[in-house]
Amino acid sequence: MRRITSIVSARELYNKLNITTPYTEWIESIKEYGFNEGFDFIDVDDDTIMSISMATSICIITKSPQASKIMEALEAA
């Protein structure tokens, strides 16, 4: 089993991507892309903690100027 060692807050990613959909709706729609709970993400209190790989995939899906910059930073991490 792979251990997640580098993590990203979904709420922080949501804010940095300037998503306009309410957070709860956005995160539920993201989870429908086939990510695996316990492997790609875990829910913690009012946030979702995700792997760098999942966060990078979300940036690709989002296709915004902010997403490209965030993706570069994630890949450097």
Q: What is the DSSP string of 8-42?
A: EEHHHHHHHTT--S-HHHHHHHHHTTS--BTTTEE
Please check whether residue 53 lies inside any domain of the structure: yes
Q: Token match 């990078």: residue?
A: 56
| Domain extent at residue 56 | 7-76
Please check whether residue 1 lies inside any domain of the structure: no
Mean pLDDT of the chain: 88
Q: pTM, whole model, 2 decimals? A: 0.84
Please check whether residue 2 lies inside any domain of the structure: no
Instruction: Examine the pLDDT at 39 and tell me if it is beyond 70.
Output: yes
Number of domains in the chain: 1
- Cα dist. 47→12, 23, 33 in Å? 9, 9, 18
What share of the chain in percent tops pLDDT 70?
Answer: 92
Please check whether residue 61 lies inside any domain of the structure: yes
Please check whether residue 12 lies inside any domain of the structure: yes
